[in-house]
Structure 1
Amino acid sequence: MSFIAYYYHWSQEEVMALGHAERRRWCDEISAVNRGQSLSANREKSILEWKL
C-alpha cells in the first residue's frame, strides 16, 4: 500500500478501494518504470554497490 501511495500520491482510502489484484498490478507497473529508469541511467547496481 505504501509503495503505491508514495509513487502516485494516493490516499490510504484510494489505495484500499482497489482490489488486491489491482494493487499488485500497480506495484508491478511502478517497479517496471523504476527498472527502466535504472537501466537507462547506465545499469542496475548490485545491492553490494549501494552506498548507505
Structure 2
Amino acid sequence: MARRREDGLSRTRSALYGLARLLGDVSAVRKGTVGRRLLRRAAGKVTGRLLEKLFR
C-alpha cells in the first residue's frame, strides 16, 4: 500500500506544535524552571505509553 503524503494542514499543525514546544523550553530557561519542565515532559511520556498499553 502506498504511503499517503501528509497534507498541508498536518504539516502546518506539526510545525506549530514544534514551535510551541521550543518556545516553552525558552520560557523555562528564562524562568529557571528547566528541571521541572523536563520532569513533567518525562512524566507525560510515561503516562501516554501506559495509557496506550492499557487501551490496546
More helix by share: 2
Higher relative contact order (CA closer than 8 Å, sequence separation 6+): 1
Higher Rg: 2
